[in-house]
Amino acid sequence: MANSTNKMLVTTYPNPDLDGLSCSLAYAEYLNKTGREAISGIFGVPHREAQYVLDKFNIKINRLKSLPQEYINIALTDASNPESLPSQIKPEQVVEIIDHRVANEVKKFINAKIQIELVGACATLIAEKFIQNNLPISETAAILLYPAIASNTINFQGKLTTERDRNAAQWLTKQAKFPANFIHDIFAAKSNITKPLKDVLLEDFKAEAFNGIKIGIAQLEIVNTNGYIKNNLSEII
């Protein structure tokens, strides 16, 4: 069984995108505001869009190379497959999972309380916890969660976008001040690819196991697709 201490580390998969990173920080805040001692921590290097938001607002994150000894219990956000976790985390240490994926491996987390709900972004589920419990949210958490929803839903145009995503995002826009063209700038940051295409795809690559079958997934989201193809045609071919 998981350790009985109330102290909890909230984290996500390594090299997280904005959704995973924002949820880890915001859910740790939520836990502390509801009487459970928690910290957030990130393994690896944040995705381009996440780093853009961190830099723009001078937000500091807790970068981890190992597990803090006093925080043995783990809460996962935007992650529900043991194969995608940092090597330092054992599935039996995970006591809570919050995710929005249809495909998941939650049965392998024998000690975990599970919340899987099919919305466009895990950030929606975290924002709803503040809304439903009438809890104030910090400006930092709102600054991270709002663009996470916008990014994951492709600015609310993606097929997986729900009314819950829109409602959560609308609430978050009232909790902090956002610059003009903020969402466009985030998509531009995602599109600012300076490394070879192969390296970028490998950074985003995830190996997921579904019913015993491993599937590799990588994606690339960019604005001005035609321009990118024109300038990088030889590499793409």
Helices (H), the chain: 18-33, 48-56, 122-132, 139-152, 163-173, 182-191, 197-204, 225-231, 233-236
**CA–CA gap between residue 148 and residue 233 (Å, rounded):** 30
pTM for this entry: 0.85
CATH class of 8-188: alpha beta
**CA–CA gap between residue 7 and residue 38 (Å, rounded):** 6
- pLDDT tier at 1, thresholds 50, 70, 90: very low
pLDDT digits (tens, 9 = 90+) for 35-88: 999 999 999 999 999 999 999 999 999 999 998 888 889 999 999 999 889 888
What residue spans define the domains of the chain?
8-188, 191-236
